[in-house]
């Protein structure tokens, strides 16, 4: 799998702030956003769109948030009925913040892992997920390695969400069907489903 070449934006440090959970059990809850290089939470608009797409699919799922950051994607899934959520975050300080958020929410179905996600997936080859969120720091060049690492952890019928800058072209993913996609002025976001067919047609 090779990604098309594109200019890489400089890493952006997000100022201290917060994002809110949009729906489900913890609707309206604010999650802290720590200042950290490359930490760029998905916007409320993007998350609302994505979880509208997934609203009838989340109950009982095992979910991986591969670059958890604020935890907004993984905790939104847990809020809406996912059975088990893994928040993987490499930065120790950000991971500690995630642990605090989970304790505050009483999110017993959520596990925080402080690790490099590619290495962690390699160490746990038997783990399978029904849904994976892939929204890494844009400038880190992580799309190819993490998508390759995830391939054996997502079976038929699994969902894959990818968020990337408009300047970056994501190639066709063999064995995946692009279910929906959208974009803002800054990002493109795509939801795939793993199926036997090689169709990559995307609904608007």
Closest CA to 154 of 164, 165, 162: 162
Q: Could you say which DSSP state residue 153 is in?
A: G
Angle between helices 72-79 and 44-53 (to 10 degrees): 40
Residues 6+ apart with CB under 8 A from 124: none
Alpha-carbon torsion (185, 187, 191, 192), positive or negative: positive
What tens-digit pLDDT sequence spans the chain (204 residues)?
545 444 444 444 444 688 889 999 999 999 977 665 555 667 889 999 999 999 999 999 999 999 999 999 999 999 999 999 999 999 999 999 999 999 999 999 999 999 999 999 999 999 999 999 999 987 778 889 999 999 999 999 999 999 999 888 887 788 999 999 999 988 999 999 998 655 556 665
> Is 10 inside a domain boundary?
no
Report how many domains make up the chain: 1
> Is 110 inside a domain boundary?
yes
> Is 11 inside a domain boundary?
no
> Is 162 inside a domain boundary?
yes
Q: Tokens representing 194?
A: 């793993």
Q: Tokens representing 68?
A: 């958890």
For residues 123-141, b (16+ Cβ closer than 10 Å) or e, as one string? eeeeeebbbbbbbbbbbee
C-beta separation of 184 from 48 below 8 A? no
pTM of the model: 0.86
> Is 115 inside a domain boundary?
yes
> Is 204 inside a domain boundary?
no
What's 27's domain CATH number?
3.40.50.150
Domain residues for the domain of 116 are 17-194
> Is 8 inside a domain boundary?
no
């Amino acid at each position: 799998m090779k990604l098309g070449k594109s200019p890489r934006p400089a890493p952006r440090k997000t100022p201290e702030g917060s994002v809110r959970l949009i729906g489900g059990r913890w609707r309206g809850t604010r999650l802290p956003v720590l200042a950290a290089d490359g930490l760029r939470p998905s916007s409320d608009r993007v998350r609302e769109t994505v979880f509208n797409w997934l609203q009838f699919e989340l109950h009982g799922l095992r979910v991986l948030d591969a670059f958890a950051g604020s935890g907004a994607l993984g905790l939104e899934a847990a809020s809406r009925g996912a059975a088990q959520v893994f928040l993987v975050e490499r930065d120790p300080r950000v991971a500690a913040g995630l642990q605090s958020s989970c304790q505050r929410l009483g999110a017993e179905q959520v596990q925080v892992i402080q690790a490099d996600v590619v290495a962690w997936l390699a160490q746990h080859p038997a783990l399978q997920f029904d849904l994976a969120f892939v929204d890494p720091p844009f400038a880190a060049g992580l799309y190819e390695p993490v998508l390759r690492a995830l391939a054996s952890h997502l079976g038929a019928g699994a969902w894959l969400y990818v968020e990337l800058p408009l300047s970056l072209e994501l190639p066709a993913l063999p064995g995946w069907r692009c279910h929906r996609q959208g974009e803002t002025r800054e990002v493109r976001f795509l939801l795939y489903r793993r199926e036997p067919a090689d169709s990559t047609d995307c609904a608007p």
